Homo-oligomer: A and B are copies of this chain.
């Protein structure tokens, strides 16, 4: 029997992937990161991982959370175990509005969509806006998981440089003009304005105004991703971009860092018209988020002192930040520079000239310390001298030990460089799709 055009699946064994000719264009960019195998090794207990962005959930009152989920099933089982609505539990959406008020946001539950982590919110926003080739503006460096999503929708990511005050407004304006002059459609600015992942820097108040002016003037939507906003170490909470521009900003939030990632509850707050599209996109993607997860988070917010818990997290992470910064100061060879975060999880370090963070990683893992090489945070191959160091998960003593090991590895690289003119080099590559441990 003949079926016209030949698109025959090859017999087993004749090649590695029988479906290789049939994938969608977008799937061609879905390639595992080269550093994945290394991270499998890095998860061994003898390795100090400064790579992962895992929050320290052990600090939570686990017995209380256990009782709370039991109570939820006993009292509301038929709801918690059933399908929920695509937009998300109405009561949780009200509570989310209460959380956002801490950042100056005045919004109603009708404009909130609950998502499977803020990662899914990002996926859905990208799904709604991006045709292949459309431009997404993003800080350079930017969140590795966002770059993976943008790649999956074949966006053209244009990085905008940062300094210690965050995104540089003039560079943003210029990037928009340049992209449009080249005939590109600029769809949105993706930004993590507060305690940025991976750079650890925060957009200053003055620059927030400028960024909104520029994007408003140019008709460019702002996608504000703010998982770390409540984790400031001096106790002050930055005012969200969304607080000053309800129609120009989609705000993405998450309970992963202020409660726990295990429920995968995040959200998008969007201008009303966009909210409808987000709900439809949500339903076609997963029907609805877990009612159980949503009600568990809602129950936690209702019955537990969540503001106090966030304060506890701030103190815990502040102590770890201090451990990292003081040991970097004490141990890193001359020529290394790094950022000094006032909140969040990450320090961004730049190695001396001639060193390559990805090429160095196998030796670091061998010395029992891991980090994420900088190239993963750029869509354009930059970042080879840089790395992200996380202080969120290891205890302070382990952080100090990890930095000590890392300093030793860098010193050896410098010795190689000084002997041969350069340290080891990697082939640079573009976007890595990250594992969840790089969140």
Contact = CB atoms under 8 A, between A and B. Distances in A.
B247 A81 contact: no
B7 A151 contact: no
Interface string A258-270: 0011111000000
B66 A71 contact: yes
A340 to B, nearest CB: 26
Interface in A249-301: 256, 260-264, 271, 273-274, 276-277, 280-281, 283-293, 296
Contacts of A127: 24, 26-27, 152
A145 interface: yes
B273 A288 contact: no
A9 B219 contact: yes
Interface stretch (A14-22, A97-105, A375-383, A401-409): A14-22
Interface string A115-127: 0110110010001
Given A130-B24, A285-B285, A66 B57 contact: no
Contacts of A219: 3, 6-9
A interface, size bucket: 35 or more
Contacts of A84: 262, 436
A83 interface: yes
Interface in A105-138: 116-117, 119-120, 123, 127-131, 134
A172 to B, nearest CB: 10
A54 B32 contact: no
A77 B54 contact: no
Interface string A50-67: 000011011010110111
Interface stretch (A173-181, A319-327, A413-421): A173-181
A319 B289 CA distance: 30
A32 B128 CA distance: 14
A151 B74 contact: no
A45 interface: no
Tallying the copies of this chain within the complex gives 2
Taking each of A73, A78, A260, A291, which has the highest tally of chain B beta carbons within 10 Å of its own beta carbon? A73
A25 interface: yes
Contacts of A8: 218-219
A285 B120 contact: yes
B65 A73 contact: yes
B71 A57 contact: no
A71 B67 CA distance: 9
Given A81-B263, A152-B127, A273-B19, A86 B435 contact: yes
A8 B218 CA distance: 6
A181 B242 CA distance: 52
A311 interface: no
Contacts of A83: 54, 256, 261-262, 436-437, 439
A168 to B, nearest CB: 15
Nearest to A293: B290
30 contacts: A3-B177, A3-B218, A7-B220, A9-B248, A18-B247, A19-B129, A22-B221, A24-B131, A26-B127, A26-B131, A27-B127, A27-B128, A55-B82, A63-B73, A65-B73, A66-B70, A69-B70, A69-B73, A81-B260, A83-B261, A83-B262, A84-B436, A116-B290, A117-B286, A120-B285, A149-B285, A152-B285, A262-B292, A290-B290, A292-B296
